[in-house]
Amino acid sequence: MNELEKNIVKWQSRASKRREDGVFIVEGTRMFTEVPAARLQTIVVSEDLFMRYPEMEEEVRRKREASHAGLRTVKPDVFRKLSDTQTPQGILAVVRITERTPEEVLSDGTGLYVILENLQDPGNLGTILRSCEAAGASGVIMNTGCADIWNPKVVRATMGAIFRVPFTIVPDLRDTVRMIHERGGECHAAHLRGAVPYDVPDYRGMSAFMIGNEGEGLTPELTALADRRIIIPMKGAVESLNAAMAATILLFEAARQRQ
């Protein structure tokens, strides 16, 4: 393997390497079309890509002209070694990481936000970003205890929302809650011991839903800062919902109220 190929393998598997170099990997034909040209650094394609997906030849050409990104062509067996998927489509891109500050993400004074504390499942994290886009949310604030947002599994689960939904990563979410309160907003803790059904509060003003770890929920310290604890009433023997499913229900209730 050459130096680029070795780095791609590291960027696929090591969060620290992605952070150090300021890049992450986007893979697959659909996700490649979602990448903003300004953030493209290098495009890597398998020799058989254009034979399998003829339409990608024009897309790659267009993106290269707009971005001046480098293009590397490799043999299919080499591409399989670089890929993070079991059935690679034959295209991946090295994409520059861009980060926002909490102030930038919370700039919408009537916005709808999601606060994520120690969320560990990449699929949950990616799906929540996707749901945020679908519900018209203004942004996501997550702490450093969450899964790495640039993990290939997270990136795939966002279905491109990672490029469109503003997000920021902070060491202490308590500062974020205080910022929202200073702006006149409210924070609603999704909690199994919630006292208020989720469809009762008014979410038409600046609002944030706080979602915790899949197994432990929100920490007592963060929960204590919430304006209220809300719950999604459930029937049967089900005790809780998947974090992404719960977040989606809350987001779309807020979207319904805001129509």
- One-letter identity of residue 244: A
Domain ranges of the chain: 3-96, 102-258
Q: What are 24-55's pLDDT values in tens digits?
A: 999 999 999 999 999 999 999 999 999 999 99
Topology (CATH) of 102-258: Alpha/beta knot (3.40.1280)
Q: Which CATH superfamily is domain 3-96 in?
A: Ribosomal protein L30/S12 (3.30.1330.30)
User: What is the mean predicted confidence (pLDDT) over 211-226?
Assistant: 94
Distances in Å between the Cα of 20 and the Cα atoms of 15, 23, 77, 85, 120 are 9, 8, 28, 23, 21
- Closest to 228 (Cα-Cα) out of 256, 250, 252: 250
Q: What are 229-241's pLDDT values in tens digits?
A: 999 988 888 777 8
- Record the pTM: 0.93
Q: Do domains 3-96 and 102-258 have the same CATH topology?
A: no
Question: CA 89, CA 79: separation in Å to the nearest integer?
Answer: 9
